[in-house]
């Protein structure tokens, strides 16, 4: 990796890191602050939830809304968190390679003794740092808000919350990974953005479809999103170690492939 | 210093470069001339390791520019033809980024260049004119004191004053024994600095020659305004190649031999001489056209 490039890239992307990071943290705080009101009317809400078909409840993770853990994992970690992090991953991955190749600025970065491998590796680190930063802010936001706004009895354990964030991070480590691979393959920025976004949308959709109908349950085997189950982690039902390990593996594979592709291909600079 | 041997890269649209071969010696300033789209930039991109040659090799300093690209680039200062910087940065930030990537610590040369080019480095890129961006590019190319300079259309966007500063800079570096390869679509731009030049057309090298030989080969067109209209008829009888006449203006084509023109014109009262600017093809039209017939 090249430290000058890393520092400058972090600096250039810091605005996005902060916007997405604080956005996500703020959302957690907001949702957390809604929970006490929610808990007071738990009965009425449970009645309401009964009306929702079972399958849809599964898809949205509404099966355990009565606890704070169930609430926050359904309302935030199952819904907005993937959207925020998905947008960030796809956008930033495109920005870090395809954009520079498309615009031609990569010619400057590749005019020194710094190798293509080092450049791709550095850019991957920038993306991963960004993801880590955003998830960290989300985690801190959730912990602080939970501490201040939620009764100790219903609050989520520190470890459980940490696990949700960890697996969440690893999922977007993977999303960032394939987006980065797409970005390293594309000469055209818009194409890179389009393909990565479409892939993410499809993977997310496959997970949803698999949850809604048991006929399509097999679909969940081909999407990384099924390895991330915040409601399951909150209720203590979900396995953490194996999915994390698989996500980590897929992620590493994607970033490595991206570096190799970037090293070997012709660049239109 | 630079060896290009049989370099070939054909693109899907049929264009590209074909069997490009030439060498640049240490301490030489080598011009690379051709009209737009002839393959100058494509050749240079191979030197920078951006493309894998379909055939042939390019070697800088003993390193293959594809297989050992980062080693080949180590002692190179490169000025890309198309200026495109990173958005959201200012000139100084970019210069510092590049200095970091070049492993450059000493800021003396950098500051000297900024001053000489009268660059205001803290201007954000989005507020920079083309010329200012080109200056940033020149600072980045020259500041780490490279052995070899690869410059793609270096003076585009610079005003005449800055072009002069740039040429001085090149000549200074040349005096230090540095090697240059400089592309251009204008002969006038490179004849002031280059020792030798290659002319490329439709992806193939047409000729590699000394600048003096090229100067002799080039075809120039002058519009001569004569005071006396009757002289127009007289001048027509001379051996000069006359393209056309318009009232008392005679358009004369000269290639190589200027004495005849001077001798002939001295007989008349000339009130104006102007040179007609021409494209590269026109300058070497004779050469392009007659090359096959003569050889």
B:111-140 residues touching chain A, CB 8 A cutoff: 140
Q: Across residues B24-37, what is the average pLDDT?
A: 91
CB-CB neighbors (< 8 A) of B77 in chain A: 111
pLDDT band for A91, please (50, 70, 90 cuts).
Answer: very high
Q: What percent of chain B has pLDDT over 90?
A: 52
This complex has an ipTM of: 0.85
Given 3-state DSSP classes, what are the helix, strand and coil percentages for chain A, each rounded to the nearest 5? 85, 0, 15
pLDDT band for A65, please (50, 70, 90 cuts).
Answer: low
Strand order in the sheet with B76-79: B76-79, B148-152, B179-184, B29-33, B196-201, B204-210
Q: Which residues of A touch B (CB under 8 A)?
A: 2-5, 7-8, 11-12, 100, 103-105, 107-116, 266-269
How many CA atoms within 13 Å lie on the side-chain side of A34? 12
Looking at residue A64, its pLDDT comes to 61
- Confirm if B92 and B121 have CB atoms less than 8 A apart: yes
* Cβ separation B98–A108 shorter than 8 A: yes
* Chain A nearest CA to B120, separation (Å): 20
Strand order in the sheet with B2-10: B16-24, B2-10, B55-60, B63-64
CB-CB neighbors (< 8 A) of A111 in chain B: 48, 73, 76-78, 80, 98
Domains along chain B with CATH numbers:
2-213 (3.40.50.300), 218-294 (3.30.70)
Neighbours of A229 (CB within 10 A): 23
Q: In 3-state terms, what secondary structure has residue B77? A: strand
DSSP state letter for A186: -
Average predicted confidence (pLDDT) for chain A: 90
Neighbours of B84 (CB within 10 A): 18
* Chain A nearest CA to B4, separation (Å): 18
Span B2-24, pLDDT tens digits: 999 999 999 999 899 999 999 99
Could you tell me how many helices (H) and strands (E) chain B has, helices first? Answer: 12, 14
How far is the C-alpha of B274 from the C-alpha of B277, rounded, in Å? 9
Domain ranges of chain A: 3-264
Average predicted confidence (pLDDT) for chain B: 88
Looking at residue B36, its pLDDT comes to 83
Span B233-273, pLDDT tens digits: 888 888 888 888 888 888 988 887 888 888 888 888 888 99
How far is the C-alpha of A108 from the C-alpha of B140, rounded, in Å? 9
How far is the C-alpha of B62 from the C-alpha of B128, rounded, in Å? 38
The pairing of strands B29-33 and B179-184 is parallel
pLDDT band for A258, please (50, 70, 90 cuts).
Answer: very high
* Chain A nearest CA to B96, separation (Å): 8
- Candidates A158, A150, A2, A141; CA nearest to A84 is A141
Looking at residue B293, its pLDDT comes to 41
Could you tell me how many helices (H) and strands (E) chain A has, helices first? Answer: 12, 0
Q: Which residues pair with B245 in a beta bridge?
A: B250
* Cβ separation B89–A110 shorter than 8 A: no
């Amino acid at each position: 990796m090249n430290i000058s490039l890393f520092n400058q890239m972090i600096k250039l992307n810091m605005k996005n890191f902060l916007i997405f990071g604080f956005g996500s943290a703020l959302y957690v705080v907001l949702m957390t602050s809604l929970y006490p009101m929610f808990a007071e009317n738990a009965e009425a809400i449970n009645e309401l939830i009964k009306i929702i078909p079972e399958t849809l409840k599964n898809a949205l993770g509404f099966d355990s809304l009565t606890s704070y853990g169930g609430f926050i994992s359904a309302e935030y970690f199952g819904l907005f968190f993937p959207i925020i992090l998905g947008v960030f991953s796809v956008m930033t991955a495109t920005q870090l390679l395809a954009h520079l190749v498309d615009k031609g600025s990569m010619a400057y970065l590749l005019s020194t003794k710094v190798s293509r491998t080092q450049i791709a590796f550095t850019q991957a680190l920038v993306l991963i740092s960004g993801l880590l930063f955003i998830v960290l802010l989300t985690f801190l936001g959730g912990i602080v808000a939970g501490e201040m706004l939620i009764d100790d009895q219903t609050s989520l354990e520190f470890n459980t919350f940490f696990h949700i964030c960890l697996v969440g991070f690893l999922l977007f480590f993977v999303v960032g990974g394939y987006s980065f691979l797409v970005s390293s393959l594309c000469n055209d920025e818009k194409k890179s953005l389009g393909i990565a976004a479409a892939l993410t949308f499809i993977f997310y959709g496959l997970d949803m479809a698999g949850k809604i109908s048991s006929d399509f349950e097999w679909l969940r085997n081909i999407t990384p999103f099924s390895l991330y189950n915040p409601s399951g982690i909150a209720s203590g039902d979900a396995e953490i170690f194996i999915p994390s390990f698989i996500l980590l593996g897929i992620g590493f594979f994607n970033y490595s492939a991206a570096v190799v592709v970037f090293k070997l291909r012709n660049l239109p600079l | 210093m630079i060896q290009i041997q049989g370099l070939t890269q054909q693109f899907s649209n049929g264009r590209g470069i074909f069997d490009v071969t030439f060498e640049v010696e240490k301490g030489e300033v080598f011009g690379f001339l051709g009209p737009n789209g002839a393959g100058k930039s494509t050749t240079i991109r191979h030197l920078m390791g951006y493309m894998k040659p379909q055939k042939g090799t390019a070697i800088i300093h003993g390193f293959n520019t594809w297989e050992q690209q980062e080693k080949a680039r180590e002692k190179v200062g490169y000025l890309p033809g198309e200026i495109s910087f990173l958005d959201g940065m200012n000139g100084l930030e970019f210069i510092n980024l590049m200095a970091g990537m070049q492993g450059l610590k000493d800021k003396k040369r950098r500051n000297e260049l900024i001053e000489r080019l009268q660059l205001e480095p803290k201007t954000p890129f989005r507020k920079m004119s083309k010329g200012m961006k080109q200056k940033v590019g020149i600072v980045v190319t020259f500041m780490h004191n490279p052995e070899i300079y690869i410059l793609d259309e270096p003076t585009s966007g610079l005003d005449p004053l800055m072009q002069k500063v740039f040429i001085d800079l090149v000549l200074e570096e040349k005096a230090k024994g540095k090697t240059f390869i400089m592309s251009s679509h204008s002969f006038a731009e490179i004849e002031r600095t280059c020792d030798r030049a290659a002319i490329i057309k439709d992806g193939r090298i047409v000729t590699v020659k000394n600048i003096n030989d090229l100067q002799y080969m080039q075809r120039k067109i002058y519009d001569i305004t004569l005071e006396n209209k009757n002289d127009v008829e007289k001048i027509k009888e001379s051996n000069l190649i006359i393209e056309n006449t318009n009232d008392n203006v005679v358009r004369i084509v000269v290639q190589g031999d200027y004495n005849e023109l001077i001798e002939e014109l001295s007989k008349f009262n000339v009130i104006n001489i102007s040179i007609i600017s021409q494209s590269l093809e026109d300058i070497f039209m004779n050469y392009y056209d007659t090359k096959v017939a003569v050889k």
